[in-house]
Structure 1
Amino acid sequence: MKFKSIFWGGLFMLAGALMLLSNLGILMVNVWKLIWPTFIIAVGAWTLWTATRGPEALDVEEINIPHEDAAQAKVSLNFGAGQVTMNSGASGGNLLKGTFAGGLDYHAKKAGDTLDVSLKPSAADFIHTFMPWSWGAREWDIQLNEQIPFALDVETGASSMELDLSKLRVTELNLSTGASSTEVTLPANAGHTHVDVEGGAASIIIRIPEGVAARIQIDGGLAAIAVDRDRFPRVGDVYKSSDYETAANKVDINADFGAGSLSIE
């Protein structure tokens, strides 16, 4: 981090010095014809140098968000490029806990018996969105409380994401993802879970635990679609477990998918 500050600080000082000399009439050249090529060369050199070092280390925040005695919670996650894992693990008075490389901006507000929480990268980390060499270092590890029903709204970009919801009481999952690799394990004992999936050029794997029935409807576009038809035979326009109507634990999946691949197993 220190070297990065020195490198870019020095580059901006050099650009400023050239502009000052030009304004004073000491340097008789068009400064902008020097600055832009120099800046592009510097960005290229920085990219090559950081590529040989691996992902740039980012500052990591540890966050605990209390549940405030809420009966249920809605968590909205907005994440650009990097890696996200989500599973159970928060306990006691915590709704959510985790580690967030690159920093986190979050807001929590209770309305009635519902705690509404939004998570997004910190404003200070915004610049890393445009620096592919730092994407591998932006890792978020999020743990949720098993005892509280959740509605999850997850929106990601060029990311790698693993959501293990098997032990959680997730009643609603809205997932929108771009050019990503995503694996989701749905709840095993949450009653009725509704899932909406929207994907672009993505690879998504959705795992439905044994003993959980499912009703699946897919608008596949140009995507490669694979559904376990032994568990979820096709009935008209949907795939549906034979015991869907009577199952104590079931999921409804609606998928709107572009190019890429979707596997439900």
Structure 2
Amino acid sequence: MNPRRLFWGGILLLLGVLLLLENLGLLPFSAWALFWPLALILFGAWLLLRPRPRHATQAREITIPLDDAREAHLRLDHGAGRLTLGALEGERTLFLRGVCGGVTPEVRREGERLEVHLHLEADAMLLPWVEGGEGYRWALEVTPNLPLDLECHLGANQTHLDLSRLQVRRLELETGASETTVVLPAQGQGSAVLKSGAAALKIQVPETMALRIQVQSGLAGVKIDPQRFPFNGQVYESPDYANAPHRFDLRLETGLGSVEIF
């Protein structure tokens, strides 16, 4: 029998019995007052005693072929741990190659567009600290040979996204209590929306890339190089942004952390 079904079935059965006894006047206490502490105790015991899934201790090698795709959308849902992403060197038949712990890849094709979604498996999300206390490690390489939309949803982790050689057209990044470094593409045109909570976010801009920056900040400390990106009263913008062949439009929404753009 599936352990998850057995556990949650037992919880529901226990709740039903307690409520029935309370309605019959056979309990000298509130069933609800007893149920939640007992449920937490049972849930904790289940986490400690259940068999650990294989992916909790072993990383998995994944490769995703490029086939005839002309563009791609890559979504990464990563929890606690470390994530690195860079360009795939010298390989023209693969879209993505990497080593990941606790990951489930989902791949589908819509015409010439390749849709790839990497996310933690259900059991893995309950065991974020499984590799010497460092969580799940994802080390990914993506082909630089086709246009890419990149979407990242990050948890309490350390992340380094080196997009300098990738053809990123759109970047969406949402991160919580994390330490994240993003190296923007060196060429091309695109946009980015970066949302961070209590995070330390560093954005490195190659010399070849012009940037326009809109900032919506809470209590975060935002540091932007005023020489490269002067403030014109509304946005921070490279002096040559309007006519630059390589430029990115960046919208930054940040809460309690720190942001540095250089």
Name the TM tier (shorter chain): 0.7 to 0.9
Query: Separation in 2 of the partners of 1:78 and 1:137?
Result: 14
- In the alignment, what sits opposite 1:204? 201
User: Residue 250 of structure 2: which of 250, 253, 256 is its match?
Assistant: 253
Q: Considering only aligned residues, what root-mean-square deviation do their CA atoms show, in Å? A: 2.4
- Percent of aligned positions with the same letter in both sequences? 34
| Map 1:1-265 → 2, pairs under 5 A | 58-89=57-88, 91-101=91-101, 103-129=102-128, 131=129, 135-189=133-187, 191-265=188-262
User: Shift in Å at residue 236 of structure 1?
Assistant: 1.6
Q: Distance in 1 between matches of 2:66 and 2:79?
A: 26
Name the residue aligned to 1:10. Answer: none
Amino acid at match of 2:158: S
1:133-152 alpha-carbon deviations (Å, 9 max, x no partner) = 75504110000001111100
Cα deviation 1:172-231 (Å, max 9, x = unaligned): 100000000000000001x11201011100000001001210000001111000001100
Deviation at residue 69 of structure 1 after TM alignment = 1.1
Structure 1: gaps of 5 or more residues? 1-31, 47-56
* Alignment partners' CA distance in 1, 2:109 and 2:233: 43
1:219 match: secondary structure: strand
Is the 2:82–2:138 Cα contact (8 Å) retained in structure 1? Answer: yes
Runs of 4+ aligned structure 1 residues displaced above 3 Å come to 131-135
Other structure's SS at 1:141 match: strand
Gaps of 5+ in 2: 1-33, 49-55
Question: What residue is the counterpart of 1:19 in the other structure?
Answer: none
Cα distance change, pair 259–116 in 1 and its aligned pair in 2 (3 A): same
Q: Are 1:128 and 1:135, in contact at CA under 8 Å, matched by a contact in 2?
A: no
* Matched positions, count: 216
CA distance in 2, matches of 1:217, 1:137: 33
Contact residue 79 and residue 125 of structure 2 kept, 8 A = no
What amino acid maps onto 1:141 in structure 2? A
Give 1:169 deviation, angstroms: 0.6
